Amino acid sequence: MKSSTKADPLGLHSRLAVPPEEWDGVVDRLQSRGYGLHDDRKGGLRAVGEAGLNVADPDGHVLELECHGPAAFEFPPARRGKIVAGRIEDFAIGSVTRIPGGQFFLVRLHDGFLAVSQVCTHMQFAVTYQPEHFRFYCPRHRRKFTRSGKYLPRFGFEDTPPLRVYNVEFVDGQVVVDTDAAIRRTKDEADRLVAPPSTIGANADV
């Protein structure tokens, strides 16, 4: 009886996790044996403390080697100091405004403001805002978050904490955001906003 097992197609991609303490040795051995190594995710696509290389085995199958050191799960704040985002009345209720100089999104909802970091809490990639869906989206691993930064779980798995936020204060009618320290939040804390002074009139809700 002939076997019906088919050979793996060329270009098959497999991912292997390498412990941090073994990474350098594995890379050295592959290079000494003449294997070409390349990183498909250069240019800021990897987290701090994360390493990765692709190598093709003798049969032409692609192996992706990944290493995640402790720093890959730490969160880097923007550290741009205090940023004046604008006047309170400049931000309509329901608006999400990216502030490039501070690397955050200023969100104004009915109950107040949030300065949401653009760094995804899963693996430090930059999130984008999708206005048609009223959510933040991380293209690296397809993580989605509400406007307040609460994670929208896939298949029921709560494996990603809320997006971090920066402290918001109101000075002479201006919205001031301190980007030197990112605030960790739990799921239950994710919908807490910072209310502006009650003397400031709110824009029409949207």
152 and 144 Cβ atoms separated by less than 8 Å: yes
183 and 74 Cβ atoms separated by less than 8 Å: no
Residues 94 and 53 in one domain: no
DSSP three-state, residue 54: strand
CATH number, domain of 20, equals 3.10.180.10
| Residues of the domain holding 18 | 13-73
Instruction: For residue 72, report the phi and psi dihedrals to the nearest 5 degrees.
Output: -65, -20
- Domain assignment present for 202: no
Residues 50 and 149 in one domain: no
Residues 40 and 62 in one domain: yes
Q: Supply 29's token pair.
A: 């051995």
Residues 86 and 145 in one domain: yes
Q: Which pTM was predicted?
A: 0.70
Number of structural domains the chain divides into: 2
For the chain, 206 residues long, give each residue's pLDDT as a single digit of tens.
555 656 656 556 687 888 888 989 999 999 998 888 888 766 555 666 778 888 887 777 888 888 877 665 667 899 999 999 999 999 999 999 999 999 999 999 999 999 999 999 988 889 999 999 999 999 888 999 999 999 999 877 788 999 999 999 999 999 999 999 999 999 999 999 999 997 444 444 43
